[in-house]
Amino acid sequence: MSQCPRYLAIDVLCQWQQSEQPIDALLEPRLPTVADHRDRNLLKALVYGVLRQRGAIDWVLGRLSSTPLPRLNPAVLQALRVGAYQILWLDRVPTAAAIHATVEAVKKMGQPRWLTGFVNGVLRNLGRRSQEFVAELS
């Protein structure tokens, strides 16, 4: 069964944050579970992109989230980072698709409905204001 690249990216980032193992050691075993090569490339782009841009992503999310980032559930924080990375840096992924797929990944993780709503709200707000943030980050 093929796995969703966003779900896997969130999971890999959560495990990396908890274990501090090398990211490649966590990511490589997951790649064969993704059937399509484009989805494997997306998974790698999401994981490495979030790590590379984490400071900028957290700055943006800190301005949009009503809850301080350190207080967020780790899976929710990683989901927000994955969604924000797609919106701000992946031109080929439409904003609506990035938001929808990220929220679906959060649902698949079994998070409560209010948390999926929180992720949806923060990412939709980012989608509306993305040009403003891209300009500030440039």
Task: Please report, to the nearest 10 degrees, the dihedral formed by the alpha carbons of residues 50, 55, 57, 63 taken in order.
Answer: 160
Quick one: DSSP state of residue 92?
T
Instruction: Give me 38's structure tokens.
Output: 């484009």
Contact call for residues 76 and 106 (beta carbons, < 8 A): yes
In sequence order, what DSSP letters do the residues of 113-135 get, joined into one string? HHHHHHHHHHHHHHHHHHHHHHH
pLDDT in tens, the chain (138 residues): 457 999 999 999 999 999 978 999 999 999 988 888 999 999 999 999 999 999 999 999 999 999 999 999 999 999 999 999 999 999 998 999 999 999 999 999 999 999 999 999 999 999 999 999 999 988
What percentage of the chain reaches a pLDDT higher than 70? 99
Q: Which CATH number is associated with domain 5-137?
A: 1.10.940.10
Quick one: DSSP state of residue 35?
-
Residue matched to tokens 């809850």: 67
Quick one: DSSP state of residue 72?
S
Say how far apart CA 19 and CA 21 lie, in whole Å.
5
Question: 3-33: per-residue pLDDT in tens?
Answer: 799 999 999 999 999 997 899 999 999 998 8
Q: How many CB atoms lie within 10 A of CB 76?
A: 23
| Residue extents of the structural domains in the chain | 5-137
